[in-house]
Structure 1
Amino acid sequence: MEGDMRSGLVTFLCVLLVTITTIAWRFQAKSDGSAQLLKLEAEFQKTTTEKGLDGFMSYFAEDAADLPNGGPIVTGKENIRQALGPWGPDVSLTWTPVKAEMAASGDLGYTYGTFVFKANEKDGNPVTHYGKYTTIWKKQKDGTWKVALDMGNSGSSPTAKP
């Protein structure tokens, strides 16, 4: 009987160890996924700053969707580009991610945060728009990450409280 108790205790401890290891691994994977998405966001913003609309659009999937503030849903990369219109040298778009999270599958994630969009109006006067955004990222067959869905809406302040 004493041998059965020891055997049961050893089995219990082994199961407990495997469970703890699995939980720790999943937590680490989730943390790594968030860091990966935040790094991707930083690269996305850098490319947008350097190349304007072309840089911005280079991160969109061919079948992406955009949900613009006050406008209809726009689907398809080229349709999104046309809806955004040309960006002159006066256009500036910057954003600050507040949160990033990746699915356990490792092929889908989202980010959200705040943005600042600056441009000149038709009369040449500068205007600044503040807002909030959500981006859904999808890993492509070639291993790259692309924007599957992007949404922005107006806000009164460039800061957000997580």
Structure 2
Amino acid sequence: MRILFAALALLVVAACDPQASTRASVGPRIGDKIREQETAMNVALDAKDADALVAFYAPDAQLFNAGQPAATTPEQIRASFAGLFSDGNGALSFETTDVILPSAGDYAVTQGTYTLTYTDPQTHQPVTMNGNYITLWRHQDDDSWKVIRDISTPGLQAAATP
């Protein structure tokens, strides 16, 4: 009888968890939502729309691009994208290769590859580089998902041929 009472008490406590109703259920739908958002981010990149890109980031997000200072405010994240877009050759695209969904459902991690093109300040020629990224998404109270950490690292680049 004590075991039954203890089990019932645990069930009641779990049912009264105030966060239980706000947690996202973990499953393929979340992965699909995240992939849809990353596709929309690529559309905003193609349109060179820094404001649309900033909307994917939470107010406390941080953007870490190789060779650049961390962008830790919405204004700095906007300026990072705007700087790329002001370059006549500036372009960025990425491809999601994996979506990782921890069991709690409050966070999601994406990883993939990116291609970045920019003008080399010394040669004034376009340079294209490839790399990898990891993005951490957080589930929001309004059931949306926002980026809270966005980290990229360049891959090995082919040596220039003489």
Q: Structure 1 length as normaliser, TM-score?
A: 0.68
Match of 1:76 in 2: 73
Give, in angstroms, the shift of residue 118 of structure 1: 0.8
Give, in angstroms, the shift of residue 84 of structure 1: 5.1
Residue type of the alignment partner of 1:103: P
Give, in angstroms, the shift of residue 70 of structure 1: 4.0
Bigger radius of gyration among the two: 1
Compare the two structures and name the one with the higher helix fraction.
1
User: Per the alignment, do residues 63 and 134 of structure 1 end up closer, same or farther by CA in structure 2, a change over 3 Å counting?
Assistant: same
Paired with 1:102 and 1:51, the residues of 2 have a C-alpha distance of 29
Give, in angstroms, the shift of residue 49 of structure 1: 1.2
Give, in angstroms, the shift of residue 83 of structure 1: 4.6
Residue type of the alignment partner of 1:146: K
**1:65 partnered with 2:96:** no
For each residue in 1:95-116, what CA deviation from the matched residue of structure 2 results, as whole angstroms up to 9, or x when unmatched?
1111002233333111001100
Percent of residue pairs identical: 25
Match of 2:28 in 1: 31
1:1-162 → structure 2 map (5 Å cutoff): 29-83=26-80, 86=83, 87-88=85-86, 89-122=88-121, 123-156=123-156
CA contact (8 A) 1:119 1:126 kept: yes
Q: Work out the number of aligned pairs and report it.
A: 130
Paired with 2:81 and 2:132, the residues of 1 have a C-alpha distance of 17
User: Per the alignment, do residues 114 and 130 of structure 1 end up closer, same or farther by CA in structure 2, a change over 3 Å counting?
Assistant: same
Give, in angstroms, the shift of residue 41 of structure 1: 1.1
Paired with 1:120 and 1:71, the residues of 2 have a C-alpha distance of 16
CA contact (8 A) 1:64 1:147 kept: yes
CA contact (8 A) 2:31 2:99 kept: yes
Paired with 1:39 and 1:100, the residues of 2 have a C-alpha distance of 12
> For 2:48, what is the secondary structure of its paired residue?
helix
User: Per the alignment, do residues 56 and 124 of structure 1 end up closer, same or farther by CA in structure 2, a change over 3 Å counting?
Assistant: farther
For each residue in 1:70-92, what CA deviation from the matched residue of structure 2 results, as whole angstroms up to 9, or x when unmatched?
44443222223335552224311
CA contact (8 A) 1:64 1:76 kept: yes
Residue type of the alignment partner of 1:106: G
